Structure 1
Amino acid sequence: MSLRILIFDKGGPFLPQLNDHLLSIVAVICLSIPTSASAESLYYNRVSQVVEVSSGKFRDVYDVFSTLASNGFTLRLTEATQGKEFDSGNARISLDLSKIAFDTFRHREDSGNDNTSEIYIMNLDGSHQTRLTANDAIDDAFPTWCNADIIFSRYESDTNQFDIYRMSTTDADMDGNGDNLAPIIQTTADEFDPACSPDGRKIAFARTVAAGDSKIIVSNADGSDPVVLTSSTAICNTPRWSPDGQWIAYSCDHHAPIQHLRDISNAASRRLSCRW
């Protein structure tokens, strides 16, 4: 009998690629802040240093790390330039286990906008870090892989809302953005936390419908035929697919985070919980 593993971080669940499926047994593991995993390693962001921002005031700086499951060896994968110590995080490993996508604030001073983040990709050892978005006044965040492409949340400065975009990991026209960059989910609401199904045909994401109320939505990969999975009034986010595409794990905050598993074929759900 194979082991089925469901891992939760403080922001919500994620389903590591060492899973084969989630049908009858789920081992629930509560970790501090991991964000992605393969059979060999965990990839996560944590505090790497503390810097003084003004006289007597300090802040934590986050970077992306990997830890080998076999021996606990930990490697720091991102490191900001001295004097520009800004956060990197939301690491996601590609389906072929060759690349990591992440977002970073390392260019915030270049843009003059303290809230600007950009999407990068890198090798599993942190080498060849390549910038894929270059939008000085726009927040690009929460990247995730969809086959060989990346989908992510983009804050639109003209509408003051988040939409979901898709792009390639190449930049043939050298414009500073991934090729074929285009919106796939763009409404009058905020859409964020996208996650692509293992076969690349569906996308799960969160949509804010009112103050204190966001739903988990599943649509086709092009944004068509959206279906609402959650009905309760709560802040639901961080949807993650099981490797067989049958289950979606997500978190809903009913005054405290509660984790859920949802079978998308028959709407059956299971409530799980991690406490810190």
Structure 2
Amino acid sequence: MMDQATQLSDMEASSYYPAFTPDGSSFLFSSNRNGPFDLYLLRFGEKQLQQLTQNIGNVVSPDYSSDGRRIVFVNQVGDGLPAVWMVNSDGLNPHLVYAGADTIVAATWAPNGEQIAYAMSVGVPLEYEIFVMDATGKNHRQVSRDLQGIGGSIDWVA
């Protein structure tokens, strides 16, 4: 038997990269409803939409830490390269974690909350390799080599 689907959003904007909160009560996504892409949180029970970031660049690929306190994401400020950023789950303290040598397209938390994986180009346009770093932005390690077709999102297998 199929469950009845419920539409959660209806806006004249592009919305991408949904990520559920660790407790499953809400989901986070990136949308350009007010200009550049920012992070928005939709609370299911209240059907309330909250904008978490405001004009800090073009924000994509958000992911919650396992404790739900922080969000990692990719942000492109102006004409700069997309980089790994972090913000508190309430939208406070958005800050740069790592500015790579090339285009970064995705970031995600490790289940243990101590590392972040990201996908970055290593010289071939539109081809990306996967890297891991500490949540502090240190100790980078490339974990894939010569993969064809690695694209826009990554995730950990717990």
TM-score band w.r.t. shorter chain:
0.7 to 0.9
Q: 2:44 maps to what in 1?
A: 169
Please identify runs of 4+ aligned residues in structure 1 that moved more than 3 A. Answer: 125-128
User: In the alignment, residue 26 of structure 2 is paired with which amino acid?
Assistant: D
Q: 2:31 maps to what in 1?
A: 154
Unaligned runs of at least 5 residues, structure 2 = 149-158
* 1:248 and 2:124 correspond: no
**What is the rounded CA distance, in whole Å, between the counterparts of 1:227 and 1:188 in structure 2?**
9
Give the conservation status (yes or no) of the 8 Å contact 2:81–2:99. Answer: no
Using the TM superposition, give the Cα deviation of residue 234 of structure 1 relative to its aligned residue in structure 2, in angstroms: 2.0
Q: 2:154 maps to what in 1?
A: none
Q: TM-score, normalised by structure 1?
A: 0.47
Q: 1:260 maps to what in 2?
A: 131
**What is the rounded CA distance, in whole Å, between the counterparts of 1:140 and 1:187 in structure 2?**
16
**What is the rounded CA distance, in whole Å, between the counterparts of 2:93 and 2:84 in structure 1?**
14
Q: Percent identity?
A: 23
Identify, as 1 or 2, the structure richer in strand. Answer: 1
Give the conservation status (yes or no) of the 8 Å contact 2:97–2:137. Answer: no
Larger Rg, first or second structure (1 or 2) = 1
Q: 2:141 maps to what in 1?
A: 270
**What is the rounded CA distance, in whole Å, between the counterparts of 1:162 and 1:243 in structure 2?**
26
1:178-257 equivalences in 2 (<5 Å): 179-211=47-79, 213-256=81-124, 257=128
Name the SS of the counterpart of 2:32 in structure 1: strand
Using the TM superposition, give the Cα deviation of residue 237 of structure 1 relative to its aligned residue in structure 2, in angstroms: 2.5
Q: 1:42 maps to what in 2?
A: none
User: In the alignment, residue 133 of structure 1 is paired with which amino acid?
Assistant: S
Using the TM superposition, give the Cα deviation of residue 266 of structure 1 relative to its aligned residue in structure 2, in angstroms: 7.0
Name the SS of the counterpart of 2:98 in structure 1: coil
**What is the rounded CA distance, in whole Å, between the counterparts of 1:215 and 1:263 in structure 2?**
15
Change (3 A) 1:183 1:126: farther
**What is the rounded CA distance, in whole Å, between the counterparts of 2:57 and 2:122 in structure 1?**
21
User: In the alignment, residue 40 of structure 2 is paired with which amino acid?
Assistant: Y
Change (3 A) 1:211 1:130: same
User: In the alignment, residue 228 of structure 1 is paired with which amino acid?
Assistant: L
Q: 2:153 maps to what in 1?
A: none
User: In the alignment, residue 58 of structure 2 is paired with which amino acid?
Assistant: D
**What is the rounded CA distance, in whole Å, between the counterparts of 1:266 and 1:205 in structure 2?**
13
Unaligned runs of at least 5 residues, structure 1 = 1-124, 173-178
Name the SS of the counterpart of 1:134 in structure 2: coil
Would you say how many aligned residue pairs link Structure 1 and Structure 2? 142
Using the TM superposition, give the Cα deviation of residue 180 of structure 1 relative to its aligned residue in structure 2, in angstroms: 2.1
Q: TM-score, normalised by structure 2?
A: 0.79
User: In the alignment, residue 43 of structure 2 is paired with which amino acid?
Assistant: S
**What is the rounded CA distance, in whole Å, between the counterparts of 1:229 and 1:235 in structure 2?**
15
Per-residue CA deviations over 1:160-190 (Å, capped at 9, x if unaligned) read x1111001123x5xxxxxx220100111511
1:10-29 equivalences in 2 (<5 Å): none
Per-residue CA deviations over 1:128-170 (Å, capped at 9, x if unaligned) read 32211011x21122100113210001112x52x1111001123
**What is the rounded CA distance, in whole Å, between the counterparts of 2:3 and 2:74 in structure 1?**
32
Change (3 A) 1:226 1:212: closer
* 1:134 and 2:134 correspond: no
Name the SS of the counterpart of 1:130 in structure 2: coil
